[in-house]
A = this chain, B = another copy of it.
Amino acid sequence: MKEKKIALVAGGAGFIGSHLCARLLEQGWDVLCLDNMLTARPGNLRALTNHPGFSFVRADITDPLPDEVVEQADRIERIYNLACAASPPHYQSDPEHTMLTNVVGTDRLLRLAEQSGARFLLTSTSEVYGDPEQHPQREDYRGWVNCTGPRACYDEGKRAAEAMAFDFGRLQRAEVRVARIFNTYGPHMDPRDGRVVSNLICQALEGQEITIYGDGSQTRSFCYVSDLVDGLIRLMEAKDVSLTPVNLGNPEEYTITQLLEQVRALVPTTAEVVYHPLPVDDPRRRRPDIGRARALLGWAPRVPLAAGLAETVRWFAEEMQRMQLLELPVQETRLSA
């Protein structure tokens, strides 16, 4: 048992990270989860903490890696870097930290990969395409990102992290993978992270007025989290994709208004819809071209939006009940914690 190889998951207590940890444990890996718990939710690890293969280290990857990690370098064979706040209100609350997480944090994990001989996967983002002029977005599209605006700490931070990963790959310092993740949803989302799926579901469940930014005609594609995790692991384990970013997301495109209709079909609500102005630099359209993931990984999303939303609504309803039982009002945002 002690000789088992370790998969390190930075940001492993977050929304996607916690599902990835669970899947890796199922596949027989020992999982070493790193998280600074700034935007992660402790409850995400509930199902994992008693697993004998699971260990957790509270750490911020902008700091030197803790001894518990460095001492186990020889056993680390996979490093998944999911560490970074991903919703605009979170990542904009401390833009300097967001940038350093992406650049300094990624650099530390790449150096750990070099030292341990582990394969490294960076979770990049569709945000590297900015407000895209090309639709759907292919990996060779260079993007339309405003590097001076309030989203730049995240968008440019991820672009810089990609640049570093590919440099480590080109110089054969580490074997690297880069996934560009498009909108993902499912259980373990933060009820108050300000993103559209959680916003609409929570407002509907609570009977509050529904907030739409813009006129609702902007589009997004929504990938259910189990599909996304499957894609991440396939990408990590695939051969010969080390100098190529790979889009992971669901190519089915919905307007925000269509998404709202699907949510309303699951959670009947008569609450009013209130329209707010679009935030600065908010992209109007986003849809992945997943031709490369299909070809290289044999991957495509399988969970239809209606089924994924039903699972998500069920989880949010349970979570709200749990939070009420614990007298932790769901209205409390993680930002003020």
Contact = CB atoms under 8 A, between A and B. Distances in A.
Interface size for chain A: under 10, 10 to 19, 20 to 34, or 35 or more residues? 35 or more
Interface string A206-220: 000000000000000
B245 A160 contact: no
Given A99-B160, A103-B99, A160-B157, A142 B150 contact: no
A305 interface: no
Interface string A140-181: 001111111110110011011011101110110000001000
Given A103-B103, A159-B159, A167 B142 contact: no
Given A96-B167, A100-B103, A104-B103, A162 B142 contact: no
Given A103-B99, A103-B104, A157 B148 contact: no
Interface in A8-32: none
Nearest to A281: B142
Contacts of A147: 128, 142-143, 159-160, 162-163
A166 B281 CA distance: 15
A107 B62 CA distance: 13
B157 A153 contact: no
Given A128-B147, A142-B144, A147-B142, A160 B162 contact: no
A138 to B, nearest CB: 13
Contact of A163 (B148, B163, B166): B148
A130 interface: yes
Nearest to A130: B142
A103 B96 CA distance: 10
B159 A156 contact: yes
19 contacts: A96-B164, A99-B103, A99-B163, A100-B103, A103-B104, A142-B143, A145-B159, A147-B163, A148-B166, A148-B243, A152-B163, A152-B167, A153-B167, A156-B156, A156-B160, A156-B162, A156-B163, A159-B159, A159-B160
Interface of A: 95-96, 99-100, 103-104, 107, 128, 130, 142-150, 152-153, 156-157, 159-160, 162-164, 166-168, 170-171, 178, 243-245
